[in-house]
Structure 1
Amino acid sequence: MSNWRLDWPTSGGGRIASGRLKTAPGDFIVDELLELPESDPAVEGEVIAGSGEHLCLKLEKVGDNTEYVARELARIAGCRHFDVGFCGLKDRHAVTRQWFSLYRPGNEDQDTALIREIGLRWPVLAASRQARKLRRGEHRGNGFTITLRAVSGEHQVIDRALERLGDIGAPNYFGPQRFGNDGANLDRAVHLDPATLNRRGRSGGKGRGGKKRAGSDGSKNVLYFSAARSWLFNEVLAARVDDGSWAEAGATGPLWGDGGTTACGPLETFERGIVAQTPELAALFSVTRMKPERRPLAVKPESLSWQWVAEDCLELAFFLSPGQYATTILSDIFELEDMSLGRHNEQQG
């Protein structure tokens, strides 16, 4: 059992329904949106839209995580793995439509053949050329179509809760997956040397004096530091949910860093008081160069709609900006049973 709190208070004081999530991959559909000119590569002989050294492809994938697809694309395209870009990690237990960029300077005449080869692995929904590699968080956002099954709860009560969600949103918590199994990423964060976040270098290389550079270990350290600041944000947000101030217009919470928080006055005192309750995490940020930032306390899904497709089956559709989590929003209303976790454990066994 984890020593870390991994379930935080809801906006309504409790969840009013339950349901099963990801019973099948098609129950969780994610469509990543970019501001790119698109052409349909399925049309024979169509000219790829846009121009630049990077070939951007929108793929539909099921059962493959983002990093695996990126490695396979590098192999198929004959480029280095770090020449493949993407905007965010997408769940493997879902139907995800996601953009990838491939660094292919001067190879425009080979685009059609490459797209055809990649299409043997994953459907290619759109293609475009652009000047820059795709990077994390650069997409406009994600459209979601989510089907909840075995829903238990009164329809009218659920409908009212969803109307409230569309009006004021939900607490903008980081999802528990960020913290690892039973908070394992937080356990690792506590035992880190904070100075490791400041050491940069390529994997396997050596710096001055023959010392090994941070490399992949440094990347993991960043992951653990990120989990720590996300957990501290959730704790501050939970306190604001408890006192009812989370939904105030423009309200933000701290992403802790060097110097702690950028808040001042009573809000600074409040936030430092919450963080001080977990000194082992607060200490991590005393010598790092991680800049303090702010994050909205509330998240409101755009274009929210829903329909009851059966007595116990609810389909929802909405749009979220980067860094916002669909399951976190739904968890403000529903006690969710993630059916993909059982499939994951079977595959690991």
Structure 2
Amino acid sequence: MTDSSATPRRWCLDWPTSGGGRVATADLKTVPEDFRVDEILDDFPVITDLSEVSGSGEHLCLRLEKSGDNTEYVARELAKLSGCRAFDVGFCGLKDRHAVTRQWFSIYRPGLVSEDEAYLARVAERWQVVGACRSSRKLRRGDHQGNRFVISLRQVSGDRERIDQALARVKGQGAPNYFGPQRFGHDGSNLDRAASMDPDALDSRGRRGKGKKRGGAGASKNVLYFSAARSWIFNQILAARVKSGDWLSPMDGEPGLNGQPGTVTGPLWGDGGTTAEETQARLEWQIAEQYPELLKVFSTTRMKPERRPLVARPADLDWHWLDDDCLQVAFSLAPGQYATTVLSDLFELEDRSLGQHNKQHG
């Protein structure tokens, strides 16, 4: 049971930067065209002639350009247009609605090859179709190789030479691979919910509470809160290593990523804590044990401990000034890494799309 008299923890949602401070302020997503994302999926061809869909298999795969619609909404609408279940539509990752994004979706349409052209025409009435093929497999989270970003920052205020130097530093060494504050909810509300959960009311996999049907709203909310808890612990450990200046180099006891040594990682906490050993394990436990209200949610969930790189390394980072106060930055990131996290290492960002969202829902 939760102690209702306990004072809620105040969650810090800002973490140390690699340079000891940010070098400028800037506006982000003033208009959707300021934030462009192109999903990288080398397995599928990028074609413009859709009169004949290449490949074979039970899944029709579409590459769509969209703006104003988030990924899950588009997936549901594609299912309705096809007459299949929402579960039968796959995608590699979630993309922001306040952006211009290109990404792939797979729709399970066995035996309907002859109807592909008509289906594509219906989809094209809603979104621009910029690629299509048939495949034998459904797209799943993380199937893509990464994402390419082209981002225009406006109202940039700061010394241009310092900004250029900071960008060059990140190009060479990378940026701390924090989870963004949006994962934790407004003022850390997702963390509050994680801290107040009763582990005894969860099943052995931590996916649902007593009386909840598998796959219901309660299950998805639990997963959200678990994710917030383990992301918070990861961020706190990364923050400590950024402060101490050793976030770029392996420590004694570093387990590496997927059995590959040399990668500097931090823990995605689970039942049993961390897979690190020696010095690194002692550091990670020392920090994680400061948040017992979060650690307790892993005690009965059987959630397997995993690792995540401490460093986000933007590939092919390039930038140029469009105007005195407008900077365009382009780079690619691996799946699960966030462009706003990289930029926040250098800039104090004002997300203008949040004001637009509040106006629409006020």
- TM-score between both structures, scaled by the size of structure 1: 0.94
The answer to whether the 8 Å contact 1:36/1:128 transfers is no
Shift of 1:216: 2.3
Measure the CA separation in 2 of the matches of 1:301 and 1:19. 19
Matched, 1:144 2:149: yes
Measure the CA separation in 1 of the matches of 2:249 and 2:146. 24
Aligned residue identity for 1:345: N
User: What is aligned with 1:280?
Assistant: 293
Measure the CA separation in 2 of the matches of 1:280 and 1:35. 42
Task: Decide whether aligned partners of structure 1 residues 70 and 44 sit closer, same or farther in structure 2, where only a CA change above 3 A counts.
Answer: closer
Which residue of 136, 158, 161 corresponds with 1:156?
161
What's the Cα RMSD here? 1.8
User: What is aligned with 1:252?
Assistant: 265
Measure the CA separation in 2 of the matches of 1:44 and 1:15. 46
User: What is aligned with 1:217?
Assistant: 218
Provide, for residues 261-302 of structure 1, a one-character-per-residue CA deviation record: whole Å limited to 9, x for no partner.
111112111110001111111111122211011111111100
Measure the CA separation in 1 of the matches of 2:144 and 2:350. 29
Measure the CA separation in 1 of the matches of 2:131 and 2:199. 43
User: What is aligned with 2:330?
Assistant: 317
User: What is aligned with 1:237?
Assistant: 238
User: What is aligned with 2:260?
Assistant: none
Aligned residue identity for 2:128: P
Measure the CA separation in 1 of the matches of 2:285 and 2:207. 33
Moved more, 170-179 or 213-222: 213-222
Aligned residue identity for 2:323: A
Shift of 1:348: 1.2
Equivalent residue pairs, number: 341
The answer to whether the 8 Å contact 2:50/2:132 transfers is no
Measure the CA separation in 2 of the matches of 1:194 and 1:35. 42
Matched, 1:36 2:43: yes
Provide, for residues 49-107 of structure 1, a one-character-per-residue CA deviation record: whole Å limited to 9, x for no partner.
21110000011111011111111111111111111111111100000111111000011
**Superposed, which structure 2 residues align to 1:136-215 within 5 Å?**
136-194=141-199, 196=202, 198=204, 211-214=211-214, 215=216
User: What is aligned with 1:48?
Assistant: 53
Residue segments in structure 1 that go unaligned for 5+ positions in a row: none
The answer to whether the 8 Å contact 1:199/1:218 transfers is no
- TM-score between both structures, scaled by the size of structure 2: 0.91
Aligned residue identity for 1:241: V
Measure the CA separation in 1 of the matches of 2:145 and 2:42. 7
Measure the CA separation in 2 of the matches of 1:112 and 1:131. 19
Measure the CA separation in 1 of the matches of 2:73 and 2:152. 26
Matched, 1:304 2:317: yes
Measure the CA separation in 1 of the matches of 2:46 and 2:184. 39
Task: Decide whether aligned partners of structure 1 residues 176 and 33 sit closer, same or farther in structure 2, where only a CA change above 3 A counts.
Answer: same
SS class of match (2:49): coil
The answer to whether the 8 Å contact 1:7/1:176 transfers is yes
Identical-pair percentage = 61
Shift of 1:182: 1.1
User: What is aligned with 1:69?
Assistant: 74
Shift of 1:198: 3.3
Task: Decide whether aligned partners of structure 1 residues 39 and 153 sit closer, same or farther in structure 2, where only a CA change above 3 A counts.
Answer: closer
**Superposed, which structure 2 residues align to 1:116-155 within 5 Å?**
116-155=121-160
Measure the CA separation in 2 of the matches of 1:125 and 1:324. 25
The answer to whether the 8 Å contact 2:29/2:352 transfers is yes
User: What is aligned with 2:254?
Assistant: none
Task: Decide whether aligned partners of structure 1 residues 155 and 289 sit closer, same or farther in structure 2, where only a CA change above 3 A counts.
Answer: same
Aligned residue identity for 1:8: W
Which residue of 323, 343, 349 corresponds with 2:356?
343
Residue segments in structure 2 that go unaligned for 5+ positions in a row: 1-7, 251-262
